Structure 1
Amino acid sequence: MKDKIKAYRFPIILLISIIIGSIIGLSFGKDATVIKPLGDLFINLLFMIVIPLVFFTISSAIASMDSMKRLGKIMGSMITVFVVTGIIAAVFMLIATIIFEPGSGVDIPLVEPEEVQEEMSLSEQLVQTFTVSDFVDLFSRNNMLALIVFSILVGVATGLTGEKGKPFTSFLTSGAEVFMKIIQLVMYYAPIGLGAYFASLVGEFGTDLIGDYAKAVIIYYPVSILYFVIGFTLYAFIAGGKIGVSRFWKNILAPAATSLGTGSSVASLPANLQAAKRIGVPKDIRETIMPLGATIHMDGSCLSAMLKIAFVFGVFNQDFSGIDTFLTAIGICLLSGIVMSGIPGGGFMGEMMIITLYGLPLQALPIISAIGVVVDPPATMVNVTGDTVSSMLVTRHLEGKDWIKKTDIA
């Protein structure tokens, strides 16, 4: 019993700090924002670490692989898992929206969005997404996919160099270990940082969740929590049986709490890498999937995209039914949650795509954008934890059904 309490000690401390922060926010209202800098400090520390962490973990994982064939298997399995879980998430929310009909009877005044992003061709968007014009631009989290591409190239080139590349492989591996240790140090501050951040959030926005968007929120929060509990438990069971479920729940609370507090998949990456390591996911798999998953795998975004579509249909009194409508909605959710999530401003583009494909007026944009803001915390939590369980599923596919029994993790 003591061992179990010890294993859950840090997640419990995080949850207690979040609860205390929320109580402070409710008690003091907007005055609680005075301690927001303590939360910002924690988030900034995570963002400060994440760029070198992504570079070293991806490049070292690939450089250390026995063969490029292994990398191909990981990437192929990863993409399959991402697409399948994204479809399941979209269908899960689709069923909920059919039952509860968000937006029905809602009367929201239509206002023009203040600003619309400049239109780009698909080729220009792809170039800007996967590359940068200057090396120093790689050191910005706004260019995360470009950094991942660069890290993969460095890892592949190092591996192909052979014996002469061994010293550089050692450097990359050492760098990955050093930055993982820095993460451990930063996470000691997590209870204070997350508590302060939640106090500020609840103090500033806690009373604004009432009104026209209440029904959408009431639908999204329980559905996302159900998907988190039921869906991820099932995925963990498929990946590793009862041991997989036990390890998943023993280690997932820290990254879940971090993602809920920061609202950022990238900022939650350090805690997520630690969780996957403790679960027993092999180094090359977790250090390939986690950074990629933080930018291109978003089950929570699939859930919210479906809610946005159903909500805006209800607002404009359009019929949200029929196989064609549903299949189009699922396709949009996949694009929003997997493809566009890695593009700067991808959420905005996903919302524009909803409006364009369904022929809705441009005034609908601020309506669905507001939903995105309100449901962002649980959506991010589902996004982040989805990466962890996906890494377990990929390991199950590559290492066999007994992979989890072969690891020495307690």
Structure 2
Amino acid sequence: MECATKTKKSMPLYVKIFIGLGAGVVFGFVLNKIGGTDNAMINGYVLPLLQFLGDLLVRLIKMVVVPLVFFSIIDAALSLGDIKKLANVGVKTIVWFLATGMISATIGLIFTNLIQPGKGLQLGTAVSNVEAKELPGFYATLLDLLPSNPFDSLASGSMMQIIVFSLFLGFAIIMIGDRAQSLKDGIHLLSEAMFNIINMIVGFTPIGVFGLMSVTMAKYGTAIFGPVLKFILTDYISSITMSVVVYSILLTVFARVSPLMFWKKAFESWIIAFSTCTSSAALPVSMKIAPKKMGASSDISNFVLPFGCTAQMNGTCAYFGVVILFAAQLYGVQLSIQQQVMLVIQATFLSVGCAATPQIGLIISLTLMAQMGLPLDAYALVAGIYRIVDQIHTATNSVGDLVCTVCVSNMEGELNHKVFNDPNAGVEEAA
């Protein structure tokens, strides 16, 4: 009787997602072995259905992410209460994103120089004259952060422009004072409504992940680990080093917390980002984990996490360092230290404003190749397996946002260490 009265705990979301991921790998591998895309039945009926499941998840996420970021950034600005505090948190966050982006790109270059994944795969004839270009369009990049029409930015999903406009709107509402209280309450309710929509979507995540992984494995199978295995390994080692080593150091120095406890609580967000290849999918989960499980300030979490979803791309920065040097090695090109330093700067600034969607890093890497004067043929070699490496990029990006949130909260004196160190904190809410 006593057992009968106990409530049955529901399976945690990250477990369901992990099951969907594993099932997708196995099912996709089986499809690949019985013909894959060469099998008319699989290619014509099975893969389109699986792709639909994955696309449906991504479409649902895209549906809500713009209004979620818009209202949560304004709500966070209003919650901070005064422009001075908002500016203080904002400056710390931006400096953090730029510094960690440069560290990550440097790590990518270091490992690519050591492992040299492009050696032995010579493509074409060696290119003798490659010049590192100056950082392109710096002033244009700054101007592009300001929307010429905020409504166009909202419609097109230009995240950095949406964030900037949201901050301006938050500043303006704060300046109105008490007369804007009803508006503040309305924005807060709209922000909560966006999270309710997310709660509806999140239950579909394991199914969407299953579809995405099944299609990936059915198309590529184990062949993806052939000629570009060293490239994949170099990319993964770079991102994992950033995550495990650098993030742990930052958490220890700036937040004074245990990296092991952090990873235990951040794993759910990590696996969602890894599975879906979009930081937007992990954003709603991260925004719950940060205050409820890690004890970070809700106001700072609501500001840093949506901002970081677009502006902080540490995993992608590491990839930029790897892929450009990999392409240079394929053509026997020697990049000087000066050229590699310029690459780090270019990669960091180009990563700011990246949309939190799959494939964006592949597009930007093509831009970097052109800027560095490298042949673009190597792009095709990487494009075929980009989905595999993009998973670790996105996971590194997403967890990096949580690291920044925890560290900035502690620097502002608003990190609840008691909650962070409690292994059961937030478990009831998550269940």
Same fold flag (TM > 0.5): yes
Question: Unaligned 5+ residue runs, structure 2?
Answer: 1-8, 37-41, 126-135, 427-431
Cα deviation, 1:170-210, whole Å, max 9, x if unaligned, reads: 11111112222322232122222212221122222334414
Alignment of 1:45-124 (within 5 A): 45-108=60-123
Question: Unaligned 5+ residue runs, structure 1?
Answer: 1-5, 111-119
1:138 matched residue in structure 2: 154
1:113 matched residue in structure 2: none
Q: Following TM superposition, by how much is the alpha carbon of 1:160 offset from its aligned partner in structure 2, in angstroms?
A: 0.8
Counting matched residue pairs gives 392
Q: Is the 8 A contact 2:247 2:400 kept in 1?
A: yes
Q: Following TM superposition, by how much is the alpha carbon of 1:347 offset from its aligned partner in structure 2, in angstroms?
A: 5.5
Q: Following TM superposition, by how much is the alpha carbon of 1:273 offset from its aligned partner in structure 2, in angstroms?
A: 1.6
Give SS of 2:296's match. Answer: coil
Give the one of 15, 20, 29 matched to 2:23. Answer: 20
Q: Following TM superposition, by how much is the alpha carbon of 1:108 offset from its aligned partner in structure 2, in angstroms?
A: 3.0
Letter in 1 for 2:26: I
Q: Is the 8 A contact 1:220 1:304 kept in 2?
A: yes
Cα deviation, 1:142-174, whole Å, max 9, x if unaligned, reads: x11221122112211111110111111111111
1:116 matched residue in structure 2: none
Give SS of 1:319's match. Answer: coil
Matched, 1:380 2:383: no
Give the one of 294, 306, 310 matched to 2:325. Answer: 310
Letter in 2 for 1:163: D
Q: Following TM superposition, by how much is the alpha carbon of 1:332 offset from its aligned partner in structure 2, in angstroms?
A: 2.7
Residues 227, 206 of structure 1: CA spacing in aligned structure 2 closer, same or farther, 3 A cutoff? farther
CA distance in structure 2 between the aligned counterparts of 1:406 and 1:267, rounded to whole angstroms: 25
Matched, 1:331 2:334: no
CA distance in structure 1 between the aligned counterparts of 2:257 and 2:137, rounded to whole angstroms: 48
Residues 144, 337 of structure 1: CA spacing in aligned structure 2 closer, same or farther, 3 A cutoff? closer
CA distance in structure 1 between the aligned counterparts of 2:317 and 2:15, rounded to whole angstroms: 29
Q: Following TM superposition, by how much is the alpha carbon of 1:104 offset from its aligned partner in structure 2, in angstroms?
A: 0.8
CA distance in structure 1 between the aligned counterparts of 2:170 and 2:328, rounded to whole angstroms: 46
Letter in 2 for 1:266: S
Q: Following TM superposition, by how much is the alpha carbon of 1:28 offset from its aligned partner in structure 2, in angstroms?
A: 1.7
Q: Is the 8 A contact 2:122 2:332 kept in 1?
A: no
Residues 361, 41 of structure 1: CA spacing in aligned structure 2 closer, same or farther, 3 A cutoff? closer
Residues 249, 364 of structure 1: CA spacing in aligned structure 2 closer, same or farther, 3 A cutoff? closer
Q: Is the 8 A contact 2:14 2:272 kept in 1?
A: no
Per the normalisation by structure 1, the TM-score is 0.84
Per the normalisation by structure 2, the TM-score is 0.81
Letter in 2 for 1:404: H
1:178 matched residue in structure 2: 193
CA distance in structure 1 between the aligned counterparts of 2:121 and 2:153, rounded to whole angstroms: 44
Q: Is the 8 A contact 1:301 1:337 kept in 2?
A: yes
CA distance in structure 1 between the aligned counterparts of 2:291 and 2:419, rounded to whole angstroms: 14
Q: Is the 8 A contact 1:52 1:179 kept in 2?
A: yes
Give the one of 414, 418, 422 matched to 1:405. Answer: 418
1:275 matched residue in structure 2: 289
Residues 333, 209 of structure 1: CA spacing in aligned structure 2 closer, same or farther, 3 A cutoff? same
CA distance in structure 1 between the aligned counterparts of 2:361 and 2:214, rounded to whole angstroms: 29
1:392 matched residue in structure 2: 406
Matched, 1:250 2:264: yes
Give the one of 29, 37, 40 matched to 2:55. Answer: 40
1:285 matched residue in structure 2: 300
The share of aligned pairs that are identical, in percent, is 25
CA distance in structure 2 between the aligned counterparts of 1:72 and 1:301, rounded to whole angstroms: 27
Residues 230, 345 of structure 1: CA spacing in aligned structure 2 closer, same or farther, 3 A cutoff? closer
CA distance in structure 1 between the aligned counterparts of 2:385 and 2:147, rounded to whole angstroms: 31
1:234 matched residue in structure 2: 249
CA distance in structure 2 between the aligned counterparts of 1:134 and 1:302, rounded to whole angstroms: 28
Q: Following TM superposition, by how much is the alpha carbon of 1:380 offset from its aligned partner in structure 2, in angstroms?
A: 1.3
Residues 65, 210 of structure 1: CA spacing in aligned structure 2 closer, same or farther, 3 A cutoff? closer
Root mean square deviation, CA, Å: 3.1
Residues 206, 160 of structure 1: CA spacing in aligned structure 2 closer, same or farther, 3 A cutoff? farther
Give SS of 2:263's match. Answer: helix
CA distance in structure 2 between the aligned counterparts of 1:42 and 1:381, rounded to whole angstroms: 17
1:298 matched residue in structure 2: 313
Cα deviation, 1:44-63, whole Å, max 9, x if unaligned, reads: 22111111111110001112
Give SS of 1:399's match. Answer: coil
Q: Following TM superposition, by how much is the alpha carbon of 1:314 offset from its aligned partner in structure 2, in angstroms?
A: 0.8
CA distance in structure 2 between the aligned counterparts of 1:263 and 1:86, rounded to whole angstroms: 19
Give SS of 1:130's match. Answer: coil
